[in-house]
């Protein structure tokens, strides 16, 4: 059984088979947001037909959310999965990326209207690299003083950092304009038949994000396989030993932090383009926690795992909303004169919470872990004290 | 036999630390377990006290199969250990550490009597009663660990490297106390690298190499065994 | 910077700061106890607190008190508060224990890596918060008026209301009681033993599972008491009330040195004061910002908090 599984592993298939599988997967992903395509995806279950697509929200929008969350997971995976640094405020970098794009590209930006720092709004494409660069800078600025802290202390500091960004963003009279936010954020360039390609439809953004993900995966994969990646693993497994072996641990941790931050910022720049409107409410701590659970659910330290996790944390709750529709489940129940909302829409995060617990109990290594890590965890399992 | 270990194996991750070890300890005996670093001596101690699960084999104590019994319940059955590295609770005073030794007991009067007995064996501990365990010297911590293990009134006392890191004079002293404890009626299994001391004081002894028992016999006889002398006593 | 405002309202700010700090401290104890024994940030602890706020509200409902009723007599009010403390503490403790048994214990049995615990903690937190959200239709619930709002005494601007006195007195009693329990009783010694060296503790006959359960129960009791006073102080509660408060309490625990009981008390008190002074100095919008800046700045200079991690593995 396991021998068969071993032979069927994608990495063990012959090269042509692997490439055609990959190409097929990509075609599938690019077709996915089209209604005429996804309509056929579903599970017939006796009398009912359970769609795999989402019915409460436009499928393309859901897919776009998936992609930018996946980008965030990929970035956080570098920090948590490879370097083993617990970052609870990763969404802060997303915020930096999003706000930079909004400030530079929106005609309503206070940089234009009040401070006259800009003559006219910049194009989105010019703002993106600046957003990434500033996110990276934010990563270095946060990492420089804090990366000497260990484990849980680092966790609380990063959490505080994300919360601080949110509080700054919330100030009404500041440059970021608080809850009123910044509207009319610029879109990416390009047009089809005179119509701009990127406007409010999520589909082109999804395609763009997909391309960005592919690029990010290649970059991160090469990085992980380089000397840098080996240093990260050494730090994760035993920081003191790595230090003794002459690995400049602080510098490599800072690297991980900065690279993760840059990818997180990139995600923010994409999101800002589509959302068209950036305000402080997007950057709640819950989102940081959501991304972290994505990485660990998928399998920390594995790129494929981070992608799977990022997809599932968005898709499962969304999909649960559709399932309620199919079965015609009651949305409310009345007990003793009080009416309670029991719709899957309302309970979807509770269900998602249960999924998280169950997966961690039965697969603490995550759904799609790094092989080396999975082996470590399998061995840990055998070392439980007697009767525990 | 008070303790019978029958063909146990034990794994650390993918490394096999014990390959079918069998040994036994009779009522009232002092049994020594000697061997080089990494031979698996401490691992056997952990298996007996239940800190580590065995992969196969059986451990019988006082006629009862305790292979699957939880560590804390083994203490109640009468197994007590002074662990490797002493395991003194650094943030507790000497007195509190000794009280921890009697954690499973409720007979306050008897506990007080045993406390006096331990203080009798180790007067030094009485002087340092209020001092934090973590601030004591290595020798004092060793005394504390042994004294604490006695506080549960064990049927079987497991001592893991009681001489480790101690000055020669202190080693002599610790072993004299071990002999004294044995005379007071406690069965003892002692793991040691100091083979000279251990063998000369043990009724019987086992020699371990790379996770296996390679020799057994009575203490003084092993002391005269040429192979043992060469390997562990540094003499031809 | 509004230094004048700070100086003008200094007594008031101090009194409210201490009261707020008392609530933080009680919740922080739950984080610190669990962390001390398991090296685990129990993220779901904020929801333990949240359940307590509703348990208190429910108890007052049994007294026929709700946000529209007249303030009862002092006797009835104190009785209602006492009853709420008991009910909320027991309920919160039960929820804490439930979290330990369903979300953490199975992972321990499989020796799962630390990050897996973090995720189940997040999962448990989601479940509790969202179920509470559904049951309460995500709306805020008002708390009945209980104690008179007129200050008990006012000496040169140092005015203290009955609510503030009760909060601080009960919190101190709980802190002292917990400290005594952990330092002086047999069960408390068991907790410290597991915190300092879990393997050796097992060799002494300590049942680790029981100690862990006990730690969750103690943390739950403290959070339940804090919940009652938070209800009274803020005048309302909501399904997500635990989130920010939990975050602050956790910060307080880290500030004092996580794993250290007295550190949690000190950290709570300091955080309460810093927040109140900061909101006078920089405006209430910047309250939380300054709290986090203070936390980060402190960790730069004392990486293990003010008092260090003493309940945990003492670094001798």
Can you give the residue ranges of every domain in chain C?
A: 3-301
Residue pairs between chains A and C whose CB atoms are closer than 8 Å? 148
Higher pLDDT, C102 or A149: C102
Q: Are C22 and C269 in contact (CB under 8 A)?
A: yes
Q: Are C220 and C92 in contact (CB under 8 A)?
A: yes
Instruction: Give the range among A346-350, C164-168, C212-216 with minimum mean pLDDT.
Output: A346-350
The secondary element (H helix, E strand) that includes residue B166 is none
CB contact under 8 A, A388 and C300: no
Q: Which residue has the tokens 């003793």?
A: A336
pLDDT for B234: 64
Assign A245 a pLDDT band (cuts: 50, 70, 90). confident
State how many domains chain B has.
1
**Total residues found in chain B within this entry:** 236
pLDDT of A269 > 60? The answer is yes
Burial of B124 (0-12, 13-18, 19+ CB in 10 A): middle
CB contact under 8 A, A386 and B11: no
CB contact under 8 A, B100 and C202: no
Please give the biggest Cα pair distance in chain B: 53
Assign A180 a pLDDT band (cuts: 50, 70, 90). confident
* B13, B14, B50 member nearest A386 (Cβ): B50
Q: Are C66 and C142 in contact (CB under 8 A)?
A: yes
Task: Note the ipTM here.
Answer: 0.90
Mean of all residue pLDDT scores within chain A: 83
Instruction: Give the range among A83-92, A178-187, B103-112 with minimum mean pLDDT.
Output: A178-187
Q: Which of B1, B6, B18 is nearest to B61 (CA)?
A: B1
The secondary element (H helix, E strand) that includes residue C307 is none
CB contact under 8 A, B53 and A386: yes
- CA nearest A378 in B: which residue? B13
Mean pLDDT to the nearest integer, C110-135: 88
User: From the candidates B13, B16, B55, B58, which should be mutated to test the interface with A, based on the most A CB atoms within 10 A?
Assistant: B13
Cβ count within 10 A of residue A304: 15
pLDDT of A376 > 90? The answer is no
pLDDT of C309 > 80? The answer is no
Q: Which two tokens stand for residue C289?
A: 């910002």
User: Distance between CA atoms of A213 and A218, rounded to whole angstroms?
Assistant: 9
Assign A19 a pLDDT band (cuts: 50, 70, 90). confident
Chains that touch B (3 or more CB pairs under 8 A): A, C
Bridge-partner residues for A278, per DSSP? A182
Assign C16 a pLDDT band (cuts: 50, 70, 90). very high
Considering only CB atoms, which chain C residues are within 8 Å of A379?
none
Considering only CB atoms, which chain B residues are within 8 Å of C200?
83, 87, 89
pLDDT for A187: 82
- CA nearest C35 in A: which residue? A152
Q: Are C44 and C125 in contact (CB under 8 A)?
A: yes
pLDDT of C310 > 70? The answer is no
* C109, C118, C250 member nearest A388 (Cβ): C109
Q: Could you write out the three-class secondary structure of chain A?
A: CHHHHHHHCHHHCCHHHHHHHHHHHHHHHHHCCCHHHHCCCEEEECCEEEECCCCCCCHHHHHHHHHHHHHHHHHHHHHHHHCCCCCCCCHHHHHHHHHHHHHHHCCCCHHHHCCCCCCCCCCHHHHHHHHHHHHHHHHHHHHHHHCCCCHHHHHHHHHHHHHHHHHHHHCCCCCCCHHHCECCCCCCCCEECCEECCCCCHHHHHHHHHHHHHHHHHHHHHHHHCHHHHHHHHHHHCHHHHHHCCCCHHHHHHHHHHHHHHHHHHHHHHHHHHHCCECHHHHCHHHHHHHHHHHHHHCCCCHHHHHHHHHHHHHHHHHHHHHHHHHCCCCEEEECCEEEECCHHHHHHHHHHHHHHHHHHHCCCCCCCCHHHHHHHHHHHCCCCCCC
pLDDT for A9: 67
CB contact under 8 A, C285 and A170: yes
pLDDT of B193 > 50? The answer is yes
DSSP class of residue B223 equals H
User: From the candidates A76, A147, A152, which should be mutated to test the interface with C, based on the most C CB atoms within 10 A?
Assistant: A152
Instruction: Give the range among A190-199, B143-152, C42-51, C93-102 with minimum mean pLDDT.
Output: A190-199
The secondary element (H helix, E strand) that includes residue C66 is none
CB contact under 8 A, B72 and C205: yes
Considering only CB atoms, which chain A residues are within 8 Å of C120?
356-357, 360-361
Assign C314 a pLDDT band (cuts: 50, 70, 90). very low
> Could you read off the pLDDT of C237-252 as tens digits, one per residue?
999 999 889 989 999 9
Q: Which residue has the tokens 């044995």?
A: B182
pLDDT for A371: 76
Shortest distance between the Cα of B181 and any Cα of chain C, in A, equals: 19
pLDDT for A197: 76
Instruction: Give the range of the structural domain holding residue B135, as residue numbers without chain letter.
Output: 3-232
Considering only CB atoms, which chain A residues are within 8 Å of B53?
382-386
* A164, A357, A376 member nearest C292 (Cβ): A164
Cβ count within 10 A of residue B127: 12
> Could you read off the pLDDT of B40-75 as tens digits, one per residue?
899 999 999 999 899 999 999 999 999 999 999 999
* B90, B103, B152 member nearest C190 (Cβ): B103
> Could you read off the pLDDT of A108-141 as tens digits, one per residue?
887 877 777 777 788 888 899 999 999 999 999 8
pLDDT for A124: 87
- CA nearest C248 in A: which residue? A160
Higher pLDDT, A200 or A80: A80
pLDDT for C316: 29
Q: Are C150 and C161 in contact (CB under 8 A)?
A: yes
High-pLDDT (> 90) share of chain A, %: 24
- CA nearest C134 in A: which residue? A341
CATH number listed for the domain at residues C3-301: 1.10.3470
Considering only CB atoms, which chain B residues are within 8 Å of A385?
50-53, 70-71
Which CATH number goes with the domain that contains B138? 3.40.50.300
> Could you read off the pLDDT of A146-166 as tens digits, one per residue?
888 777 778 878 888 888 888
pLDDT for B33: 94
pLDDT of C30 > 80? The answer is yes
Shortest distance between the Cα of B149 and any Cα of chain C, in A, equals: 8
pLDDT for C202: 94
**In C185-301, at which residue ranges do the beta strands (DSSP E only) sit?**
236-237
CB contact under 8 A, B75 and C203: yes
Shortest distance between the Cα of A234 and any Cα of chain C, in A, equals: 17
Q: Which two tokens stand for residue C215?
A: 């730690």
3-state secondary structure of C238: coil
pLDDT for C315: 35
C200 CB near a chain B CB, below 8 Å?
yes
Q: Which two tokens stand for residue C88?
A: 């909320």
């Amino acid at each position: 059984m396991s021998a068969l599984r071993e032979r069927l592993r994608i990495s063990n298939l012959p090269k042509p088979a692997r490439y055609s599988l990959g190409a097929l997967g990509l075609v599938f992903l690019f077709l996915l947001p089209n209604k005429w395509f996804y309509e056929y995806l579903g599970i017939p279950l006796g009398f009912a037909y359970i769609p795999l697509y989402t019915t409460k929200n436009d499928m393309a929008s859901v897919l776009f959310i998936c992609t930018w969350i996946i980008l965030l997971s990929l970035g956080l995976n570098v920090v948590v999965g490879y370097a083993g640094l617990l970052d609870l405020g990763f969404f802060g970098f997303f915020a930096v990326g999003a706000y930079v794009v909004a400030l530079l590209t929106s005609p309503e930006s206070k940089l234009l209207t009040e401070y006259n720092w800009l003559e006219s709004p910049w194009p989105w494409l010019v703002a993106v690299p600046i957003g990434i660069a500033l996110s990276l800078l934010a990563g270095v600025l946060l990492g420089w003083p804090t990366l000497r802290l260990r484990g849980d202390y680092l966790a609380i500091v990063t959490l505080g950092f994300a919360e601080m960004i949110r509080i700054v963003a919330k100030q009404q009279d500041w440059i970021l304009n608080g809850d009123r936010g910044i509207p009319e954020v610029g879109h990416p360039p390009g047009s089809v038949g005179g119509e701009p390609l990127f406007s409010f439809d999520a589909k082109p953004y999804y395609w763009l994000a997909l391309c960005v993900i592919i690029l990010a995966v290649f970059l991160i994969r090469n990085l992980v396989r380089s000397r840098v990646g080996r240093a990260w693993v050494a730090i994760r497994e035993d920081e003191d030993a790595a230090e003794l072996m002459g690995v400049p641990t602080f510098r490599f941790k800072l690297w991980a932090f900065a690279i993760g931050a840059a990818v997180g910022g990139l995600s923010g720049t994409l999101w800002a383009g589509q959302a068209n409107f950036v305000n402080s409410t997007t950057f709640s701590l819950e989102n940081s926690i959501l991304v972290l659970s994505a990485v660990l659910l998928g399998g920390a330290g594995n790129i494929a795992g981070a992608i799977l996790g990022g997809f599932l944390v968005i898709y499962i709750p969304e999909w649960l909303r559709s399932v309620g529709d199919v079965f015609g489940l009651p949305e409310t129940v009345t007990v003793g004169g009080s009416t309670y909302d029991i719709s899957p829409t309302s309970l979807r995060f509770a269900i998602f919470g249960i999924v998280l617990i169950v997966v961690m109990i039965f697969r603490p290594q995550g759904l799609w872990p790094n092989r080396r890590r999975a082996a470590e965890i399998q061995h840990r399992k055998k070392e439980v004290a007697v009767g525990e | 036999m008070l303790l019978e270990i029958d063909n146990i194996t034990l794994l650390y991750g993918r490394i096999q630390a014990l390959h079918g070890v069998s040994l036994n300890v009779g009522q009232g005996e002092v049994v020594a377990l000697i061997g080089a670093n990494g031979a698996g001596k401490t691992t056997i101690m952990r298996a007996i006290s239940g800190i580590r699960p065995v992969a196969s084999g059986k451990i019988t104590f006082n006629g009862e199969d305790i292979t699957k019994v939880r560590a804390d319940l083994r203490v109640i059955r009468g197994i007590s250990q002074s662990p490797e590295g002493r395991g003194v609770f650094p943030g507790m005073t000497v007195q509190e550490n000794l009280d921890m030794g009697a954690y499973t007991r409720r007979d306050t009067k008897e506990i007080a009597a045993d406390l006096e007995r331990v203080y009798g064996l180790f007067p030094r501990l009485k002087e340092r009663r209020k001092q934090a365990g973590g601030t004591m010297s290595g020798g004092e911590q060793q005394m504390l660990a042994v004294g604490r293990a006695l506080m549960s009134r064990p049927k079987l006392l497991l001592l893991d490297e009681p001489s480790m890191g101690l000055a020669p004079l202190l080693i002599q002293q610790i072993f004299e106390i071990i002999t004294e404890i044995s005379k007071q009626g406690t069965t003892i299994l002692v793991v040691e690298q100091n083979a000279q001391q251990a063998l000369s004081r043990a009724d019987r002894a086992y020699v371990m190499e790379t996770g296996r028992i390679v020799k057994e016999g009575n203490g003084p006889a092993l002391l005269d065994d040429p192979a043992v002398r060469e390997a562990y006593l540094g003499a031809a | 910077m509004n230094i004048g405002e700070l100086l003008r309202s200094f007594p008031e700010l101090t009194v409210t700061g201490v009261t707020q700090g008392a609530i933080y401290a009680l919740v922080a104890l739950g984080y610190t106890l669990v962390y001390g024994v398991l090296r685990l940030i129990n993220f779901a602890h904020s929801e333990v607190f949240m359940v307590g706020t509703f348990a208190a509200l429910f108890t007052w409902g049994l007294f026929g008190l709700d946000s529209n009723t007249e303030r009862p007599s002092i006797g009835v009010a104190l009785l209602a508060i006492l009853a709420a403390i008991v009910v909320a503490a027991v309920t919160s403790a039960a929820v804490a224990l439930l979290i330990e048994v369903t979300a953490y214990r199975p992972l321990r049995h499989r020796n799962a890596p630390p990050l897996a615990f973090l995720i189940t903690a997040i999962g448990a937190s989601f479940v509790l918060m969202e179920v509470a959200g559904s049951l309460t239709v995500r709306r805020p619930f008002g708390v009945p008026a209980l104690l008179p709002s007129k200050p008990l005494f006012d000496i040169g601007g140092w005015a203290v209301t009955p609510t503030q006195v009760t909060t601080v007195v009960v919190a101190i009693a709980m802190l002292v009681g917990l400290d005594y329990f952990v330092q002086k009783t047999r069960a408390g010694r068991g907790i410290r033993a597991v915190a300092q060296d879990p393997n050796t503790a097992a060799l002494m006959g300590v049942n680790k599972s029981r100690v862990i359960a006990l730690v969750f129960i103690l943390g739950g009791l403290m959070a339940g008491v804090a919940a009652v006073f938070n209800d009274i102080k803020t005048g309302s509660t909501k399904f997500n009330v635990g989130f920010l408060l939990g975050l602050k309490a956790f910060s307080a625990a880290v500030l004092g040195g996580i794993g250290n009981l007295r550190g949690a008390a000190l950290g709570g008190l300091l955080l309460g004061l810093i927040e109140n002074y900061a909101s006078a100095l920089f405006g209430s919008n910047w309250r939380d910002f300054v709290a986090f800046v203070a936390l980060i700045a402190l960790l730069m200079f004392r990486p293990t908090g003010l008092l260090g991690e003493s309940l945990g593995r003492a670094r001798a």
